[in-house]
Structure 1
Amino acid sequence: MTHKIVFLDRESLDANVRAPSFPHEYVEHQSTWTPDEIVERLKDADIALINKVPMRADVLKQLPKLKLIAVAATGTDVVDKAQAKAQGIVVSNIRNYAFNTVPEHVIGLIFALRRAIVPYANSVKRGDWNKSQQFCYFDYPIYDVAGSTLGIVGYGALGKSIGKRAEALGMKILPYDVFPQDGLVDFETVLTQSDIITIHVPLTPDTKNLFGAEQFKKMKNSAILINTARGGLVDEAALLEALKSGEIGGAGFDVVAQEPPKDGNILCDADLPNLIVTPHVAWASKQAMQILADQLIDNVENFVAGKPSNVVE
């Protein structure tokens, strides 16, 4: 049997995607956006490779031949998993590939915000140093990373990896997770005692807007919030107000609610010295992307061999 494999958003993965080891027809599209495009491109396929292409119920119902959706990411909120299950479509994802790239991005954002690196660099470009009466100036507060407290919301593999790096830098960690394990603290403790909070939970109905106005009021005025998980975990309007009012000290985001922000986004458009937004690239080191691409094809080959791996229910 020859399997037809279609990769709907190939440009989202800057890595070599090896050919599967079984008879197959392979087609790739650099990007796919509309439901009509999805249906047309997958109508004869039994295996779909996607990263961020939305696979909603109305689309899946038009794809009776589809048997596997192999997601080239850990998060699978783009797939209507209930409908996929109803149709007998297996959904697989990528796991434990970002063990260096995401933690390093988080640590980078922590240093950039605690040390006010970006606003000082921008001020030099504006010529502020040229005008200074002294050899330096203190327009933006600087805080040490060592001795600070890091709250980790979501203490899985990524959270633990970040925690190890933080402890090596002399930080105290406060881990929180909904799944019981030794050494955890409650969410309230994370909010009230952390100098920095980093988020590493999936986006679900229960975690949507996990951080909003109520949570920002409980945080320290100097605290910073890091989000490299999903944009919908944070109420963006409430965050922007908290940053402008000084209710919290800063934020470093690699994700926003709608990606790409074609119609604009209040965080991307804001010109604030205590806000850094990067374009969902925390996961995207060259090394991590190649691990991801190899695991993606591993998942496909295992499925065809009758031994599905990394199955998401």
Structure 2
Amino acid sequence: MATTGLPHTTQDDLSGVTKTLDLLAPRWSVWVLMTLSAKPLRYAEIKPRLPWLHDGQLHPRLRQLTNAGVVERTEYAPRHVTYGLTRRGAELMPVLAVIASWGDTYLEKQVVTNKATGEKEPERIAPAQNIDDTLALIAPRHATPILWSLHSRGSANAKALTTEAMAGYGLTAVYKPLDRLVEDGLVTATGSGNFQLSASGQALVPVFQAISAWAAPAAESGARPVRAQGSAPSQNRSGPWATTPTRVPARPVPAARSASPALATTSQDGPAWKPGDLFSHQIPARPVTPAGGPRR
């Protein structure tokens, strides 16, 4: 990740979070992990569960996740191979639950008619889509260090954010990622030249807590980075996938939940979902298109 002016311990936390986002952010990675969350599956069993993925998309995702150490490939015979979550992969499931919970609570949704009752209600969106849409907000270049810095400071001007979150960059470099975070509804301008987290931005604290706690064991044990060989780190990406514009936090948003000031502790927020629970309703025949509210 890019050098920051944050303390070394905070930089270590940020490095773990960034590498985890690198692992999760590539398109369809979360869907594959969640498909394997209940039990190991053969390739022919995975395909019907993710029917919109071509072989040229599914094979690279499985290879990347296997190289990252969260999926294991077990060969029983030349034509009998299964893919399942490793222990580290299984430990990611509660983290995904926290991310999905934030997306379900804070991201915009269309109001649709319930065919059974005829009443208007918010659309139901697959947890994996909520996760993808949340990652699209926090994974772009410099987004996480800026959010982290604002959480620590409470409020800060562009110069302070450049010094702390983007050390080595000129002052003008901070405005593009900062404006994006404002547009995405995670940061607000105070009117006095300062910026601070919005309610939905503050509510991301449990998300970063969960990611940081998951990344910590790998860092402490000296294990290889979770980022797969050849995947681009989020600090070098220009933004989320152009083909899947994400929803932005709804306005007005619910009040932020109280959270610990430290981002690197284990979160108690979010549902205690078990493996296999993340597909809380039938998987669509094709990927859910994010709907509702402004698009980037």
Q: TM-score w.r.t. structure 2 length?
A: 0.24
Q: Which of the two has higher C-alpha Rg? A: 1
More helix as a share of residues: 2
More strand as a share of residues: 1
Query: Which structure is richer in relative contact order (CA contacts within 8 A, separation 6 or more)?
Result: 2
Q: TM-score w.r.t. structure 1 length?
A: 0.23
